[in-house]
Amino acid sequence: MRSKKPPHTPQANLKAAHLFTDGLLTIIEAAEFLRVCRATIYNLMGSGELISVCIGRSRRIPKAALIEFSQRNASGGEKPPEGPSY
């Protein structure tokens, strides 16, 4: 008698799993969240600076990815170090 295989469950990428807990945003919602234009969002996705998920023909961006992107690029209001003055 053949044993039944358990139903296939895709293996979740546990490293990236936390990115999806806050939900997914459309391109327009992501642009509004960062207060940039849609083209900037597409450029960030194309350069790999911002991850996205393909659902059918649509792209969605995890809200947590937008927050992480903002944190990585935050300047903290500090001035860049000045070079030597000659």
d(CA 86, CA 19): 48
pLDDT tens readout for residues 42-74: 999 999 999 999 999 999 999 999 999 999 988
User: Is the pLDDT at 26 greater than 90, yes or no?
Assistant: yes
Q: What is the pLDDT of residue 40?
A: 97
Helix/strand number for the chain, H first, E second: 3, 3
Residue type, 17: A
Mean pLDDT for the chain overall: 81
Q: What is the CA radius of gyration of the chain?
A: 19
| Closest by CA position to 72, among listed 48, 54, 52, 42 | 48
Architecture of the structural domain at 18-72: Orthogonal Bundle (1.10)
Domain ranges of the chain: 18-72
